[in-house]
A and B are shown apart, each in its own frame.
Chain A
Amino acid sequence: TQLLEQSPQFLSIQEGENLTVYCNSSSVFSSLQWYRQEPGEGPVLLVTVVTGGEVKKLKRLTFQFGDARKDSSLHITAAQPGDTGLYLCALINAGGTSYGKLTFGQGTILTVHP
């Protein structure tokens, strides 16, 4: 079973600071997704990365897929209180009868203080 390790588990920063969340796999993955979740709600998909070395930007969020396809990072520039939430990385199982199953990392709880 492919495992995902996310770090850090908790992140508490001041508004305006930058931060990076990391997601590492025990083996090569075909594609990886990043989600953001608020308390009492389901996760909301932010991005899917597929190609090694790929970089995607979503406003102040930058997502990177490692060249070796075993790691990914999420970087937030000038964090705002509205960025507060649980950030999750997840692998998509891309084949066979398990198609579409997600394996999640443990999550990073981000708190941005005004």
Chain B
Amino acid sequence: SQTIHQWPATLVQPVGSPLSLECTVEGTSNPNLYWYRQAAGRGLQLLFYSVGIGQISSEVPQNLSASRPQDRQFILSSKKLLLSDSGFYLCASFTGPGPRGYTFGSGTRLTVV
């Protein structure tokens, strides 16, 4: 079964600082990868998805960017963080229909101060 590693678990960054969140996937190859953001106690909003190396699609206009340098590595970045970038960021992997097709990482809690 696939496993997603996300780090760090928590992060406090000042406004205007850069950001790099990393997600790696084990136990599968050629997955679709996703970055979601979640407000406290609410549903998840899709930010970016990737169907392959170097292929990134953005869902909402924002201050963030994503990259996929390797098949099982997905990175979320920002050059200058805004207060509104605070939230809970989740990486997910999808390999197809079925009970184990969709897997989430444990998330990164980002607080911009």
Known contacts A42-B107, A97-B51, A101-B49, A31 near B44 by CB under 8 Å: no
* B25 contacts A by Cβ under 8 Å: no
Q: In the complex the two chains form, is A105's CB within 8 Å of B107's CB?
A: no
Q: In the complex the two chains form, is B44's CB within 8 Å of A43's CB?
A: yes
Task: Scan B26-63; emit 1 where CB is below 8 A from any A CB, else 0.
Answer: 00000010101000011111100101000001000000
- In which size bucket is the chain A interface? 20 to 34
Enumerate B73-113 residues with CB–CB distance to A below 8 Å.
90, 92, 94, 96-99, 101-107, 109
Q: What chain B residues lie within 8 Å of A45 (beta carbons)? A: 99, 102-103
Q: In the complex the two chains form, is B90's CB within 8 Å of A42's CB?
A: yes
* A24 contacts B by Cβ under 8 Å: no
- For A45, the closest partner residue in chain B by CB is B102
- Give, as a whole number of angstroms, the nearest-CB distance from A34 to chain B: 12
Enumerate A54-95 residues with CB–CB distance to B below 8 Å.
86, 88, 90, 92
Q: In the complex the two chains form, is A33's CB within 8 Å of B42's CB?
A: no
Q: What chain A residues lie within 8 Å of B101 (beta carbons)? A: 100
- Seen from chain A, the residues whose Cβ lies within 8 Å of a Cβ on chain B are 4, 6, 31, 33, 40-45, 48, 86, 88, 90, 92, 97-107, 109
